[in-house]
Amino acid sequence: MDTRTGLPVVGMVGGGQLARMTHQAAIALGQSLKVLATAADDGAAMVAADVELGEHTDLAALRRFAQGCDVVTFDHEHVPGEHIRALAADGVKIFPPADALLYAQDKQAMRERLTALGAPAPRWRPVASATDIAEFAAEVGWPVIAKATRGGYDGKGVWVLRDATAAADLVATGTALIVEERVNLVREVAVQVARSPFGQVAVYPVVETVQADGICVEVIAPAQDLPAERALAAQKLAIDIAHDLGVVGLVAVELFDTGTELLVNELAMRPHNSGHWTIEGARTSQFEQHLRAVLDYPMGDTSLAAPYVVMANVLGGADGGLSIDERLHHLFATDPAVKVHLYGKQVRPGRKIGHVTALGDDLTEVRARAARAAKWLQEGC
């Protein structure tokens, strides 16, 4: 409890853009997010008042950080489960709990648990050898998708294996792996749900996530041409997963859409790129919702704020001779209604440095505006 305000203090481990945007939401709720950052120039560390520097792998640093926090949560999924358990044993309220976060940290554990839950998923198998992979491929056909059980994100830790030789090369690296069939998908969609310790849930509309090279580049809310019963089933599935896994906070369920069914691809247990559209596009942003969830406040309304909302990621582009500030001038001149979110990051090619959101009544126009805005910031033209 912040004695100056009588309001709770939420601590977030990790100082990236998710913490940065959660801090904006915290301010409205009368709070100030406490941030454990690894560097003073992390996106959130540059904008929050209460910042500690330390590594998320350092239990002593986590213990120091947790002091004075009413609740501790995460802007990434990399805090070791044993550290989370140690803090919980100290009496720290820390969400999501280690037993839930595991399923966002370990893809094999996630696949086993969701299989037990009966969630629709690609065929998959844990593998220990090239022979295991070849046997699986004999059943489902080459190519197969190999995933590191731990540590992957944004397309890293995922490989398309086209033959036994590729399988052998990957196995030789010693990476713990599962393999999955390559799904013949027509697109990817995602659904976010927030769950409080009390067990209240709030689910957002299903959105389409457009990927390029394993990185999300565009999110369209709501997902178009998705039969109502299939959208409802996806929301129900997300709620079931949140309950079954004991999630507290946000979980994003990423799904393959085959055109006839939705298959679970990944889980993320934190605010997620697929929910950035909610800042302007939903009555309650995912960042406020995450705070409400971990604080056991009643959940906020997840309704759309406009018929169509499109978010486009801004990746660092080549240096086109214009500074980011100049690009911003030009963008604002070209589209006064687009909303910009910059994360305070140094521009490096391919790095997510921000996102833009457009909304309106005409999806074709809204998509074009978001794409153009992202391109302006990325390439300066």
Site residues, its own copies (CB under 8 A): 1-2, 4-8, 20-21, 23-24, 26-30, 32, 41, 45-49, 51, 202, 283-284, 292, 297-301, 303, 305-306, 323-325, 328-329, 332-333, 336-337, 339-347, 354
CB contact burial 188-206 (16+ within 10 A = b; e otherwise): bbbbbbbbbbeeebbbbbb
Nearest distance from C-beta of residue 5 to its own copies, angstroms: 5
Instruction: Decide whether 45 or 241 has the Cβ nearer to its own copies.
Output: 45
Cis status of the peptide bond prior to 349, with omega within 30 of 0: no
Sole residue written with tokens 């909304």:
359
Question: What torsion do the CA atoms of 169, 170, 174, 179 make, to the nearest 10 degrees?
Answer: -140
The closest of 92, 9, 93, 98 to 51, measured between CA atoms, is 9
**Least gap, CB of 42 to its own copies (angstroms):** 10
Q: Which is nearer to its own copies, 244 or 296 (CB)?
A: 296
Query: Bridge partners of 357?
Result: 311, 339
Q: Which is nearer to its own copies, 161 or 201 (CB)?
A: 201
Prior bond of 97 cis (ω within 30°) = no
Closer residue to its own copies (CB): 144 or 324 = 324
φ and ψ of 48, to 5 deg? -100, 155
Toward its own copies, which CB reaches closer, 182 or 330? 330
Q: Residue 82 or residue 301: which is nearer to its own copies going by CB?
A: 301
User: Closest approach of Cβ 356 to its own copies, in Å?
Assistant: 10
Cα–Cα separations (whole angstroms), residue 294 to 30, 253, 267, 303: 16, 18, 18, 20
Q: How far apart are CA 37 and CA 161, in angstroms?
A: 37
DSSP conformation letters of 176-198: -EEEEEPP--SEEEEEEEEE-TT
Q: How far is the CB of 278 from its own copies (least distance, A)?
A: 12
State the nearest-atom distance from the C-beta of 23 to its own copies, in Å: 7
Q: By C-beta, is 122 or 281 nearer to its own copies?
A: 281
- Taking the complex as a whole, the smallest distance from the CB of residue 306 to its own copies amounts, in Å, to 8
| Residues near 220 by beta carbon (within 8 Å), at least 6 away in sequence | 207, 208, 210, 308, 309, 310, 363, 367
Residue 221 CB, shortest distance to its own copies, in Å, is: 15
Q: What is the nearest approach in angstroms of its own copies to the Cβ of residue 230?
A: 26
Assess contact for 312 and 218: CB atoms under 8 A: yes
Quote the crossing angle between the two packed helices 107-117 and 228-245, to the nearest 10°.
110
Q: Which is nearer to its own copies, 231 or 305 (CB)?
A: 305
